[in-house]
Amino acid sequence: MEFASEKKREILSSIARNDGHGEHSPYFDGWKAYDRNPFHPTQNPDGVIQLGLAENQLSFDLIEEWIKNNPTASICTPAGVGKFKDVANFQDYHGLTKFRQAVAKFMGRVRRGKATFDPNRVVMSGGATGASETLIFCLADPGDAFLVPSPYYPAFDRDIRWRTGVRLIPVPCNSSNNFQVTLAQMESAYTKAIEANINVKGVILTNPSNPLGTTLSKETLTSLLSFTFKKNLHMVCDEIYSATVFNSPAFTSISEVMQETECNPDLVHIIYSLSKDLGLPGFRVGIIYSYNDQVVNCARKMSSFGLVSSQSQHLLASMLSDEVFVEKFLEESSRRLAKRHSRFVEGLKHEGIHCLEGNAGLFFWMDLHHLLKEPTHDAEMELWRVIIKDVKLNVSPGSSFHCMEPGFFRVCFANMDDHTVEVALKRIKELVSKGNGSGDAKKHGRKRNLSLNFTSRKCDESLMSPHQRMSPHSPVPQSPLVRART
* Same-domain check for residues 36 and 88: no
* Same-domain check for residues 106 and 225: yes
Q: In this structure, is residue 98 part of a structural domain?
A: yes
Q: Is pLDDT above 50 for 484? A: no
Predicted confidence band at 469 (pLDDT cuts at 50, 70, 90)? Answer: very low
Which element (helix H / strand E) includes 332?
helix 323-350
Q: Which of 29, 35, 157, 238 is catalytic?
A: 238
Predicted confidence at residue 213, as pLDDT, reads: 97
Nearest C-alpha neighbor of 166 from the set 211, 132, 207: 132
Predicted confidence band at 464 (pLDDT cuts at 50, 70, 90)? Answer: very low
* Same-domain check for residues 289 and 192: yes
Q: Is pLDDT above 70 for 283? A: yes
Predicted confidence at residue 442, as pLDDT, reads: 41
Kindly report, residue by residue over 95-122, the tens digit of the pLDDT: 889 999 999 999 999 999 999 999 999 9
- Catalytic-residue membership of 390: no
From 271, 292, 322, the end of a domain falls on: 322
* Same-domain check for residues 311 and 431: no
Predicted confidence band at 314 (pLDDT cuts at 50, 70, 90)? Answer: confident
- Tallying the residues shown for the chain, one arrives at 486
Q: Which of 32, 201, 276, 442 is catalytic?
A: 276
Q: In this structure, is residue 270 part of a structural domain?
A: yes
The C-alpha atoms of residue 138 and residue 95 are separated, in whole angstroms, by 19
Q: In this structure, is residue 347 part of a structural domain?
A: no
Kindly report, residue by residue over 5-47, the tens digit of the pLDDT: 456 788 888 888 888 777 777 777 888 889 999 999 999 999 9
* Same-domain check for residues 36 and 118: no
Query: If you average pLDDT over every residue of the chain, what do you get?
Result: 86
Q: In this structure, is residue 34 part of a structural domain?
A: yes
Q: In this structure, is residue 68 part of a structural domain?
A: no
Q: Is pLDDT above 50 for 479? A: no
Q: In this structure, is residue 327 part of a structural domain?
A: no
pTM: 0.86
Instruction: Check: CB of residue 122 under 8 Å from CB of residue 287.
Output: yes
Q: In this structure, is residue 332 part of a structural domain?
A: no
* Same-domain check for residues 302 and 373: no
Q: What is the tally of structural domains in the chain? A: 2
- Catalytic-residue membership of 34: no
Neighbours of 375 (CB within 10 A): 11
Q: Which of 27, 34, 152, 153 is catalytic?
A: 153
CATH number at residue 452: 3.90.1150.10
Q: What is the DSSP string of 136-168?
A: HHHH--TT-EEEEEES--TTHIIIIIITT--EE
Nearest C-alpha neighbor of 425 from the set 467, 416, 134, 180: 416
* Same-domain check for residues 300 and 410: no
The more confident residue out of 451 and 53 is 53
* Same-domain check for residues 393 and 301: no
* Same-domain check for residues 208 and 106: yes
DSSP state of 261: S
Taking the CA atoms of residue 349, residue 355, residue 358 and residue 361 in that order, the dihedral angle to the nearest 10 degrees is -110
- Catalytic-residue membership of 276: yes
* Same-domain check for residues 106 and 132: yes
Taking the CA atoms of residue 455, residue 461, residue 462 and residue 465 in that order, the dihedral angle to the nearest 10 degrees is 120
Neighbours of 16 (CB within 10 A): 8
Instruction: Check: CB of residue 471 under 8 Å from CB of residue 50.
Output: yes
Q: In this structure, is residue 257 part of a structural domain?
A: yes
Predicted confidence at residue 92, as pLDDT, reads: 73
Q: In what order do the strands lie in the sheet with 363-367?
A: 354-355, 363-367, 408-412, 396-397
Q: What are phi and psi of 252, to 5 degrees?
A: -120, 120
Nearest C-alpha neighbor of 395 from the set 375, 371, 424: 424
Instruction: Check: CB of residue 178 under 8 Å from CB of residue 367.
Output: no
Nearest C-alpha neighbor of 203 from the set 193, 195, 212: 193
Instruction: Check: CB of residue 146 under 8 Å from CB of residue 122.
Output: no
Predicted confidence at residue 253, as pLDDT, reads: 97
Taking the CA atoms of residue 88, residue 90, residue 95 and residue 97 in that order, the dihedral angle to the nearest 10 degrees is -70
Q: Which domain holds residue 449?
A: 14-55+362-463
* Same-domain check for residues 224 and 317: yes
Kindly report, residue by residue over 343-390, the tens digit of the pLDDT: 999 999 999 999 999 999 999 999 999 999 999 999 999 999 999 999
CATH number at residue 167: 3.40.640.10
Handedness of CA 433, 437, 439, 441 (dihedral sign): positive
Q: Which of 240, 270, 387, 428 is catalytic?
A: 240
* Same-domain check for residues 154 and 243: yes
